[in-house]
Amino acid sequence: MQQTHFKFIKYTWLWLTISAITILIGVGAMVYNEVNNGYALRWGMDFTGGSLMEFRFEGQTDSPSLANAINEAFPESVEQITVTGEGTYNVQAKDMTEEQLKAIGASIGSKIGKYEMLRFQTIGPKVGNTLKTKALTALVIALIAIVFYLAYAFRNVPKRVSPWKFGVCAVVSLAHDVITTVGVFALLDYEINALFITALLTLIGFSNHDTIVVYDRIRENLKHQSRAQSFGEIADISLNQTLSRSINTSLSTIFPLVALYFFGAESLKHFVFALIFGILIGTYSSIFIASPLLTMWQERGRKTQG
């Protein structure tokens, strides 16, 4: 069994303190948004309802001019305008009727000039709320399923360690990843939409896979544990054995995502950012949160029994 190069477990409280501060910053951002903007998280049209329009103009225009033309026909309806890489304008607005859409078209034609509407879609408030509930339910079900899966996967771990501890600690680590990522989006006031939920589910899978690799190494090393070795020492050895693999896997995933962030479509930037940050925080938690928590629980249990 290889010698330990770095004692991760020794600094457990440092890792937990860093995570606690990060989470508190995110929660503080949500409170700030709620007080100043009237919302903790800026839910996108997918979850609140609304209309999305995409325009292409023959002549020159800009976002303020387009917003003025739309708001004159449908007051205070424009919520966000994004210019795409193809020179088109994506307008996110309040839910509207066909009559209001026609009035908006007439206003744009008279104030800006000839245009082509490439896309129009609308989502009612009830549908948006239903999607929000289903998205949150999907996250919760995924986390619960992981607990049971890991408890089953580690059922053959030496009897002195409960397989349920592996599942619970892994899910606490994943919850840390989700809460931290949501907090960063609240801090940056980025929109929470269906793509963001997709990114969260993706990072849950990535982070959980990384954690399983470390836990599997702990299980194998426990089979060769000597009487003089503590669980924390086994965890340290396992983390050092898997450290380079975790870092290499994360970097090889992040590099193409960074390229996509800078050179990809504007509409995907927040989604790609969520993936990049999620992979970074997931790698951090699989090393500095999941195993230290498991060690803390296991060794505290042994002291209590003693």
Q: Which CATH class is domain 50-123?
A: alpha beta
Which stretches of the chain score pLDDT less than 50? 1-2, 4, 306
* pLDDT score for 3: 53
* Separation of alpha carbons 293 and 299, rounded Å: 10
DSSP letter at 156 equals: T
Total Cβ atoms within 10 A of residue 110: 11
Instruction: Specify the pLDDT at position 306.
Output: 47
Topology alike, domains 9-39+127-301 and 50-123:
no
pTM score, whole prediction: 0.84
**How far apart, in Å, are the Cα atoms of 276 and each of 198, 253, 255, 273?**
13, 9, 9, 5
Q: What pLDDT is stored for residue 97 in this prediction?
A: 83
Check residue 156 and give its pLDDT. Answer: 83
Query: Cα(68)–Cα(56) distance, rounded to whole angstroms?
Result: 17
Region class of 263: left (phi > 0), else alpha (psi between -120 and 50), else beta: alpha
pLDDT for position 1: 45
How many CA atoms lie within 13 Å of 299's alpha carbon, on the beta-carbon side?
A: 16
> Tens of pLDDT along 172-182?
999 999 999 99
Per-domain residue ranges of the chain: 9-39+127-301, 50-123
Q: Which fold has domain 9-39+127-301?
A: Multidrug efflux transporter AcrB transmembrane fold (1.20.1640)
